[in-house]
Homo-oligomer: A and B are copies of this chain.
């Protein structure tokens, strides 16, 4: 019945049976990544898993650049039914292989409440996309498992609605929700969406949950991803979710907003400087930990 609720009575500050905890929730993923602590988490990978080789190549490249989790969609929500809708179960197997090859935990989207079992053992973080933020049967189902949930804000969801959607997951029993600002829909057509940068400090003040940012969907344009990523860190985000593709021009979806591995490595370098400027650091990934451990320093997680 939900032991770690955001709000007990969302419209009232009176009579709250479980007062909001003061301490931020830090979510551990595979015991090697901690989301919501001091370190900033970089999640990167292709929009969709398009094949075994492209996935492995991308996974290795983003790990080398400094990502500590791998994203990649097996089931893709697409505006048109005739667009590429993902490789489905084949992609799940490829994700397992990519994790084995890189030690990067897997973040992948779940669209269907009937897929929770199928995702077990594959997804280290279950992503709920913007279109499904208020898909309540789906929120109920991911609330019944222990896998952390990355919940994206809907295109026209208010901050309060995002928090109440998270509350569905918590109320169903899963306290590990990562909130994700990914741009809202406005009148401006110069960018795909409008990154609501203010949502970061607002969410950080109103909830104990981690808050990350997806600068790729927010902007829709590769040239804007790095400036928005840096802005997100400066504004207090706990992590980034970035689309990286070995050859964005050939991507089956979201090519315009995907970074090349080289551009992503540049983003990481610059993000590191901004993180330091705000008193944080980027979370090292498995490869770096190993090096660090060999050198005799304790694991950060």
Contacts and interface: CB of A to CB of B under 8 A. Distances in A.
A127 to B, nearest CB: 15
Interface string A133-164: 01111000000000000000011101111001
A186 B184 contact: yes
A234 B293 CA distance: 33
A188 B159 contact: yes
Interface stretch (A29-37, A118-126, A246-254, A269-277): A269-277
Contacts of A158: 187-190
Contact of A273 (B112, B154, B277): B277
Contact of A235 (B136, B167, B199, B228): B228
Instruction: Specify which of A77, A195, A227, A231 lies most central, judged by the most chain B CB atoms within 10 Å of its CB.
Output: A231
B235 A227 contact: yes
Give the residue among A137, A164, A202, A233 with the most B Cβ atoms within 10 A: A137
Contact of A134 (B79, B168, B187, B277): B79
A228 B198 contact: yes
A274 B202 CA distance: 20
A256 interface: no
Interface stretch (A20-28, A99-107, A217-225): A217-225
As for how many copies of this chain the complex holds, the number is: 4
Interface in A200-257: 200-202, 205, 218-219, 223-224, 227-228, 230-236
A123 B126 CA distance: 33
Contact of A187 (B187, B200, B205, B218): B187
Given A158-B190, A219-B198, A277-B273, A135 B132 contact: yes
Nearest to A219: B198
Contact of A188 (B184, B223, B274): B184
Given A82-B9, A195-B198, A274-B278, A136 B156 contact: no
Given A154-B156, A186-B187, 14 more contacts: A80-B167, A81-B172, A111-B137, A131-B135, A155-B156, A184-B186, A184-B187, A188-B199, A198-B218, A198-B224, A227-B236, A231-B232, A274-B278, A277-B277
Interface of A: 9-11, 77-82, 85, 111-114, 131-132, 134-137, 154-156, 158-161, 164, 167-168, 171-172, 184-191, 194-202, 205, 218-219, 223-224, 227-228, 230-236, 270, 273-274, 276-278
9 interchain residue pairs of minimum CB distance? A156-B156, A234-B234, A277-B277, A230-B234, A231-B231, A131-B134, A273-B277, A231-B235, A112-B137
